[in-house]
Amino acid sequence: MKPAALPCVHIFDVDRTVIRRTSAEYFLRIALKEKYIRFSQVSGLLADLVKYKLSLLNTDFIENTVKKLSGLKEEDVNRISLSCFEKKIKPNIFSDAAALISGLINKGHEVIFATSSFDFIIKPLEDFFSVKGSLASRLEFKNGVTTGRLNGDSLFGQKKRQAAAEWINQRGIMARDVYFYSDSYTDLPLLEYCGHPAAVNPDRVLKRTALKNGWDIFQFKKTLG
């Protein structure tokens, strides 16, 4: 995909689009290994993964999951996130995604991430690419401890589209001038909203839709690791 001659906005989903697996999965692996959480707290995520593959996932699953994560200290969350990035996320960034993002930024285009993952997990990735102002789900903290609730909505499906549309409109940008890259059928609302949708490593539903509509399709395989 060739970007427009004038600077424009490129929005990237993160999980399986910029990195090989889900950022939350990487985070939980580190948190479990370092005994900040117990397996019983997140075992339900396995069932959610199956539902995701079958296109049956409840769009409120993030709100339901974070209820089990109450009591984590904010300082520990940030510590785990940094460790997660260095050990899991950075080595699993797709090389082609890294080259695309860096190239766009070097040409003066604005790049942000829009993800249902949490902002503290994505922050080191933002810093790595010098990206600012991304859209992500946020955990609620009170007195430096997680409450088991979200601060606002999870940016999943239609809610991600709403958050991105607000971000775009606040900046006086036309949706037809925005590029959005994603791997998932759950992002169809935002892909259909943006003028330049692109499917990256698409699941079967998204691939079928992309082929039908003539959208660009990318296959990223190699990683920085």
pLDDT of residue 143: 96
- The residue that leads in pLDDT, 4 or 31, is 31
pLDDT grade for 48, boundaries at 50, 70 and 90: low
Confidence of residue 223 (pLDDT cuts 50, 70, 90): very high
| Core vs surface per residue 17-34: b (16+ CB within 10 A) or e | bbbbebbbbbbbebbeee
pLDDT tens for 98-155 read: 999 999 999 999 999 999 999 999 999 999 999 988 999 999 999 999 998 999 988 9
- Going by the DSSP 8-state scheme, the letter that residue 91 receives in this structure is G
pLDDT attached to residue 39: 76
Ordered alpha helix ranges (H), 54-197:
61-66, 74-84, 95-106, 119-129, 158-170, 188-193
The end-to-end CA distance of the chain, in Å, is: 25
Q: Is the pLDDT of residue 56 over 80?
A: no
Q: Which residues pair with 103 in a beta bridge?
A: none
Q: What pLDDT, on the 0 to 100 scale, is given for residue 16?
A: 95
pLDDT, one tens digit per residue, over 111-127 is 999 999 999 999 999 99
Q: At what angle do helices 95-106 and 119-129 cross, to 10 degrees?
A: 60
Cβ(48)–Cβ(57) under 8 Å?
Answer: yes
Q: Give me the domains of the chain, ranges plus CATH numbers.
A: 9-218 (3.40.50.1000)
CA-CA-CA-CA torsion sign (51, 156, 162, 167): negative
**Is pLDDT of 204 > 60?**
yes
pLDDT tens per residue, range 58-97: 556 677 677 777 889 999 999 999 999 999 999 999 999 9
Q: How far is CA 116 from the centre of its chain?
A: 5
Is 167 a residue whose pLDDT tops 70? yes
Average pLDDT, the chain: 89
The pLDDT, as a whole number, for residue 78 is 95
